[in-house]
Amino acid sequence: MELYTANLPHTLTMTQTYHPIARGLHWLMALCIFGLLVLGHYMRELPLSPDKLRFYSWHKWAGVTVFALAVLRLVWRVAHRPPALPETLSPLMKRLAHAGHALLYVLMFAMPLSGWLMSSAKGVPTVWFGVFPLPDLLSRDRALGDLLENVHAALSWLLVAMVVAHVLAALYHHRVLRDDTLDRMWPRKQPTDSSASSL
């Protein structure tokens, strides 16, 4: 099963890069999600204490921020067509790439939403940065809250797997296929033409 198209050079250089706003959103969200995953798995093992409650508050603030950034990123992507995938990729690899990106977008929304739903069901209000109270999405239901906690945890592990796959795919493009997929999203990379767009 071919991973690339044999009749095209593997060192194809792309002329399109992502818009600086798209790259900024990408890396800002990457940092936030990494921090959320690390903090989330760390704080679950802590005994109940003021520190644990503080970490939970920070985790919820960051989760709401990721949700807001995901909305902004989706709006930007709809309004700005992203650069095409390398022509060296086979149709199968292009379909896998699109499916992977779609799943990442779903998880960027599902993770914070499941946490928000869980807090609502457990009767714990969500106050963004301790200033802006958010409405409860569900009435208080302890059993449902426990179920949503398990869903939230399962989604976090799925997100970990997808992030690892995303990083490995970027490195595969960079080191094996030797195209510019990684370079065009790298923070210091400047757009090379006026058609630069977003992810």
Looking up tokens 């903090």, which residue turns up?
39
Contact between residue 179 and residue 134 where contact means Cβ atoms under 8 Å apart: no
Model confidence pTM above 0.75 = yes
Task: Answer yes or no: is pLDDT of 11 > 80.
Answer: no
Where is pLDDT greater, at 165 or 196?
Answer: 165
The answer to whether domain 20-185 has CATH 1.20.950.20 is: yes
Tokens of 66: 């990721």
Q: Which pLDDT does position 160 carry in this prediction?
A: 94
Report, as an integer, the average pLDDT of 4-16.
41
Confidence of residue 94 (pLDDT cuts 50, 70, 90): confident
Domain extents in the chain: 20-185
In single-letter form, the type of residue at position 16 comes to: Q
Exposed e or buried b per residue across 149-187, where buried means at least 16 C-beta atoms within 10 angstroms of its C-beta: bebbeebbeebeebbeebeebeeebeeebebbbbebbee
CA distance 184 to 190: 8
Q: Which pLDDT does position 80 carry in this prediction?
A: 86
Residues 157, 28, 107: CA angle, nearest 5 degrees: 30
- Start-to-end CA distance of the chain, whole Å, equals 28
Report, as an integer, the average pLDDT of 173-186.
79
pLDDT digits (tens, 9 = 90+) for 126-170: 889 888 999 999 999 999 999 999 999 999 999 999 999 999 988
pLDDT digits (tens, 9 = 90+) for 54-84: 999 999 999 999 999 999 999 998 898 888 8
